[in-house]
Amino acid sequence: MFELMDVRRAGLRTRHAEAHRCYHGQSHVDALLRGRSGLRGQVARRHVLELAIWYHDAIHDPAARDNEVRSARLLRDEMAGLVDAADLMSAALMVERTADHLLPTDGPGEQILDCAYLLDLDMAILGADAAECDRYEAGIAGEYVPVFGTKAYRAGRRAFLDGQLGRARLFHTDSSYASLDARARCNMRRALQAC
């Protein structure tokens, strides 16, 4: 186990408070932490999941395509020597998987399951009620439109939504799939129409 040091937590909170973050800020991290609390007894390594939650959007530059890789590197750099090396590598892998929200194809079963929980928690906003999902869509637009412009943002957002809707399952765990998938698809189709 570990305790995320106050100095690390303060640094992450500063990152999550960057002015351009309309969605990928501390409130998003807090939502995932609350979601993790609801998974009592289901997560194999709660401390590894917590690390991944705190660092998964530590670096968020809307113009960059390597945020997840850079966030994982930051996690490894900042927590090296403070966390068991295997747990650190597992958390970093989980952070990297948030790039495409696909599970690792190999590794220990508990690592894959914990990764599934992280990815489902990260995507849970899509299965929220319509008003909350609309705020999420507005936040995403607030981050990307200033960088790419409205036309390019809408094209990119349509591609993302179409790609997600083409998946057989949006959520990896059976519990998230059962409770969130149908509503998430409805929200995504509605967002797609608004693009």
Position 8 scores a pLDDT of 87
How far apart (Å, rounded) are the C-alpha atoms in residues 90 and 111?
A: 7
Position 181 scores a pLDDT of 97
Position 46 scores a pLDDT of 87
How far apart (Å, rounded) are the C-alpha atoms in residues 10 and 105?
A: 34
For residue 107 the two structure tokens come to 């590794």
Q: Where are the domains of the chain?
A: 6-125, 127-194
Position 65 scores a pLDDT of 95
What string of pLDDT tens digits covers the 195 residues of the chain? 456 667 688 899 999 999 999 999 999 999 999 998 777 667 788 889 999 999 999 999 999 999 999 999 999 999 998 889 999 999 999 999 999 999 988 877 888 999 999 999 999 999 999 999 999 999 999 999 999 999 999 999 999 999 999 999 999 999 999 999 999 999 999 999 988
How far apart (Å, rounded) are the C-alpha atoms in residues 64 and 22?
A: 16
How far apart (Å, rounded) are the C-alpha atoms in residues 117 and 191?
A: 24
User: Tokens 């002015």 appear where?
Assistant: 19
* CA gyration radius, the chain: 16
| HSE-up of residue 140 (Cα within 13 Å, Cβ side) | 17
Position 94 scores a pLDDT of 96
40: left (phi over 0), alpha (psi -120 to 50) or beta: beta
By CB atoms closer than 10 A (0-12, 13-18, 19+), residue 186 is: middle
Position 4 scores a pLDDT of 62
DSSP-based three-state secondary structure for 80: strand
